[in-house]
Structure 1
C-alpha cells in the first residue's frame, strides 16, 4: 500500500509502539499537528541524520494534547504506529506550511526468539548497572520487543536508524545483542579505569605477599 502523509522530520528515531512527547512550536508543525488532531489523521516522522531526511521513518498518532499555549504552541503525546519508506518527498503542498511524502509500508515480522530476547534484556540491565542508570521497563519482560529496548541500549542516532529498517524481529534483536557485546566490555573497562584514577594520591595498604 502507498499513500500520502504529512511529515515532521526530526533528528531522532521513533519506533512503532513508542511514546514520543513533542513540544510543537514552529508554525508549519503547529498547522500539521492541529490538522491531525482535528481530523484524526496520522503523520510521519522521517529520521534526519547528518542534516539529511532519510528514507525510512515511523507513522505516529497524536494520543493527547497535553497543553495548548496561547500562541498556538502545543505539548503533545504521540505513539508510534508503523514504519514507512519514503518514495517521494513533496516539498510544497497548496495552502500548507508543512511538507509531505508518498510512502509505502514494508512488511514487518514481529516474531521473536525468547532466548535471544532474554539475552538482550540481560545485556541492557548489565549495561545500566555498569553506568549506574536506573530505568524500568513499562512492560513485563516477556512482552518487550526490540522497539521497546532500542532506546535503552545506548545506540547512536545512526545505529538507531539502521535498526529502524530491519524488518524481522530476530534481526533487530541480533543487532542489539551485537551492539551490547561490543559496548559492555568497553564500559566495564572505563569503570575500572575510573576506579584506578580515584586511587591516585590515596594511602593504600599494599602487600607483595610472601615474596
Structure 2
C-alpha cells in the first residue's frame, strides 16, 4: 500500500482483492496479525507496521469486507515472497525494531510549533498529549511527505522522532504563514478600500 501506517494508528480498510480477502479471513479465523510494508517509489524500502484487525464491520455479498485495524509495532522485512508459498498474498520473514520510549510527553517546543501551525490553518488542534508515542499520533497531521513519513517510522527513539518533527515544522510554518499573508493580500486587493481624502 502506498501509505505509512504507524503504531497506535487506527485505520479503516475496504478489503476487496481476493488475495487480501484470504489474508484477512485467516487473521479473523486464527486471530493473527498482518503487516503493511511501506511501498515507496515503486519499491519496498524495507520497513512497515504490524496491524491487528479490531473489528469486522460488514461482509459484502461479493466477499469484500469493511474492517477496522490498529497499528502495533514496526518491523523490518528480511525476506519477501510474492506470493508466499501456497497463499495468494505476499509475505516474508521479519524482525521487529526495538522501540525506545525515552520521552513520556511532547517536547515543549514541538507543542508550541503545533499550536502555531494549527492557528495559522485555523484548524483545531486534535491530539492527546498522554498517548504514546506522541510522534506517531501527529505524523499524518503536519504535512510530511510520504518519504518523510517513512523516515519517521524508521527512527527508534521517541526523542529523535520529535526532533525530526520540530525541524520539519520550523521549515513549514514560515511557508504557511507567507501563504496566509498572500491570501489576505489577494482578498484585500479584490475589494474597494476606504481612503482618506488628501489635503493639499
Distance 1:66 1:200, change over 3 A: same
CA distance, structure 1, for counterparts of residue 149 and residue 42 of structure 2: 16
Structure with greater proportional strand content: 1
What is the match of residue 144 of structure 2?
155
Residues 145-169 of structure 1, C-alpha deviations (whole Å, 9 max, x = no match): 1111111111111110010000000
* Superposed displacement of residue 48, structure 1: 0.9
Report the counterpart of residue 193 of structure 1 in structure 2: 182
Cα shift readout 1:83-107 (whole Å, capped 9, x = no counterpart): 0001110123233110101111121
Aligned-partner Cα distance in 2 for 1:119–1:142: 16
Aligned residues: 198
Q: Deviations over 1:153-206 (max 9, x none)?
A: 111111100100000000000000111111011101100001101112422234
Give me the whole-angstrom Cα distance separating, in 1, the residues matched to 2:106 and 2:63.
Answer: 48
Whether contact under 8 Å (1:113, 1:170) holds in the other structure is no
Are residues 1:36 and 2:27 paired? yes
The question of whether the paired residues in 2 share the 8 Å contact of 1:42 and 1:62 is answered with: yes
Matches for 1:50-129 after TM superposition, within 5 Å: 50-112=41-103, 114=105, 116=107, 118-129=108-119
Query: Would the alpha carbon gap of residues 115 and 22 (structure 1) be closer, same or farther in structure 2, given more than 3 Å must change?
Result: closer
Moved more, 65-74 or 166-175: 65-74
The Cα offsets for residues 12-52 of structure 1, whole Å up to 9 and x where unpaired, read as: 00111111111111111111111111100011100111221
Runs of 4+ in 1 over 3 A off after TM superposition: none
Cα distance in 1 for partners of 2:190, 2:151 equals 45
**2:50/2:72 contact within 8 Å kept:** yes
CA RMSD in angstroms comes to 2.0
Q: Is the 8 A contact 2:28 2:53 kept in 1?
A: yes
Matches within 5 A, 1:19-30: 19-30=10-21
